[in-house]
Amino acid sequence: MLILSFLPFIISIATTESTPTKSIPSSFYVIPLGTTGGLEENNLSAYLITSTTDNTPNSAYISLDGGTIRHGLQIAVQKNSLSSDTDVETFFREQIKAYLISHAHLDHNSGFLLNTPNDKSGKFIIGLNETITIIQDHYFNNQAWADFGPAGLKTYDYQILDPSSTNSVPIANTDLNVRIFRLCHTCPYLSSAFLISRRDQSNASVLYLGDTGPDDVEKIVQPDNTTSFPRYLDKMWKDIKPLVIADQLKAIFIEVSYPSERPDNLLFGHLTPKWLLEELKKLNAYHSIEKVKIIVTHIKPEKGAREKIIEQLKNNSNQHFNFIFPQQGEAIWL
């Protein structure tokens, strides 16, 4: 009797210490491994995401970009976003099932690349053909780094996604699907966005954008000096409109690199609060996005920039956008 009466107590301690849980119903669990847009090499764009069951994170994560991996996992353990007994090495090898890379810039890849020698084989690197080609030719070329791709050490396979396809495709070893969109990042250089959805729950999706400039600024100048604007953001907003209307989109991860004062000719394919609000207004015009969490990524770590950007987004918005400013290692339930 004595032993039995102690049992519930032991179980409840074990549950609170080993697994983060939440009382409000959730569909996804996100751990930001890195949140800044450069310079701080221990805090560069990377977001782990997994589905949840009964408000408990599932074990199979994917990494959206891979700027900082190992240090971000250590901070996540310190901040109790992963249980205190998590072995970072084992988690990295066993629980990150795929890397979805928005574009090949080093601030979105360096942590992932440096950790490749210790990674478990059989994972996919997922992205646009253009992104995978750069990884293959410029990183995994046996000069910049060993070839961990399918033609070399075979640690990874490549999964090329077609931006013209409207289908979501499964991410191996997870219960998640992905669809890709093209973005401009100093045109004609491409970046991309991933729409992540739960395979078992068609009502739950999140949209993760890599670096991008505003549609009104991103232009292609032809040799004969004619200019065209690809307007990839506009096209994407139109494509995800049905998800917003159906209340299925939980969050949009989108960048703001500089405060609004930054002149347009010095944006280098990035957004400011002014431009983010312009873009969100377009989506909001289709249907209110007040229930969609807007997770602001990629703030450049210049002195005072973060505070200024937060103020500019909160004060200049007469719409009720639900902004979240992620911190490294601090989990977000969606």
- Return the range that interacts with Zn ion (CB under 5 A); candidates 174-182, 206-214, 276-284, 285-293: 206-214
* Number of residues this chain uses to bind Zn ion (CB under 5 A): 3
What is the rounded distance in angstroms from the CA atom of residue 273 to the CA atom of residue 317? 9
Task: Specify the residue, 45 or 52, whose C-beta has the smaller distance to Zn ion.
Answer: 45
Closest CA to 205 of 191, 214, 195, 215: 195
- The answer to whether residue 300 forms part of the interface with Zn ion (CB under 5 A) is no
Task: Specify the residue, 155 or 272, whose C-beta has the smaller distance to Zn ion.
Answer: 272
- Return the range that interacts with Zn ion (CB under 5 A); candidates 13-21, 100-108, 156-164, 275-283: 100-108
For residues 82-107, one letter each, b for 16 or more C-beta atoms within 10 angstroms of the residue's C-beta and e for the rest, the string is beeebebeebbeebbbbbbbbbbbeb
Q: Considering the complex, what minimum distance in angstroms separates the CB of residue 278 from Zn ion?
A: 20
The residues facing 252 across adjacent strands are: 207, 294
Task: Specify the residue, 71 or 105, whose C-beta has the smaller distance to Zn ion.
Answer: 105
- Return the range that interacts with Zn ion (CB under 5 A); candidates 119-127, 156-164, 203-211, 285-293: 203-211
- Return the range that interacts with Zn ion (CB under 5 A); candidates 25-33, 98-106, 121-129, 242-250: 98-106
- Return the range that interacts with Zn ion (CB under 5 A); candidates 10-18, 73-81, 114-122, 208-216: 208-216
> Two tokens at 80?
């109790």
What is the rounded distance in angstroms from the CA atom of residue 218 to the CA atom of residue 139? 27
Non-local (6+) Cβ contacts of 168 within 8 A are 177, 178, 179, 195, 197
What is the rounded distance in angstroms from the CA atom of residue 230 to the CA atom of residue 187? 9
The residues facing 311 across adjacent strands are: none
What is the rounded distance in angstroms from the CA atom of residue 130 to the CA atom of residue 166? 19
What is the rounded distance in angstroms from the CA atom of residue 263 to the CA atom of residue 272? 10
Task: Specify the residue, 105 or 123, whose C-beta has the smaller distance to Zn ion.
Answer: 105
- The answer to whether residue 105 forms part of the interface with Zn ion (CB under 5 A) is yes
Which contacts qualify for 307-310: CB closer than 8 Å, 24 or more apart? 308/259, 309/256, 309/258, 309/259, 309/272, 309/273
Q: Considering the complex, what minimum distance in angstroms separates the CB of residue 186 from Zn ion?
A: 8
Q: Considering the complex, what minimum distance in angstroms separates the CB of residue 230 from Zn ion?
A: 17
Q: Considering the complex, what minimum distance in angstroms separates the CB of residue 328 from Zn ion?
A: 15
- The answer to whether residue 107 forms part of the interface with Zn ion (CB under 5 A) is yes
Q: Considering the complex, what minimum distance in angstroms separates the CB of residue 37 from Zn ion?
A: 5
Task: Specify the residue, 43 or 197, whose C-beta has the smaller distance to Zn ion.
Answer: 43
> Two tokens at 203?
């009502």
Task: Specify the residue, 147 or 211, whose C-beta has the smaller distance to Zn ion.
Answer: 211
For the purposes of burial, counting CB atoms within 10 Å of the CB of 213, is it exposed (0-12), middle (13-18) or buried (19 or more)? buried
- The answer to whether residue 211 forms part of the interface with Zn ion (CB under 5 A) is yes
Q: Considering the complex, what minimum distance in angstroms separates the CB of residue 182 from Zn ion?
A: 14
- The answer to whether residue 65 forms part of the interface with Zn ion (CB under 5 A) is no
- Contact positions toward Zn ion, by CB under 5 A? 105, 107, 211
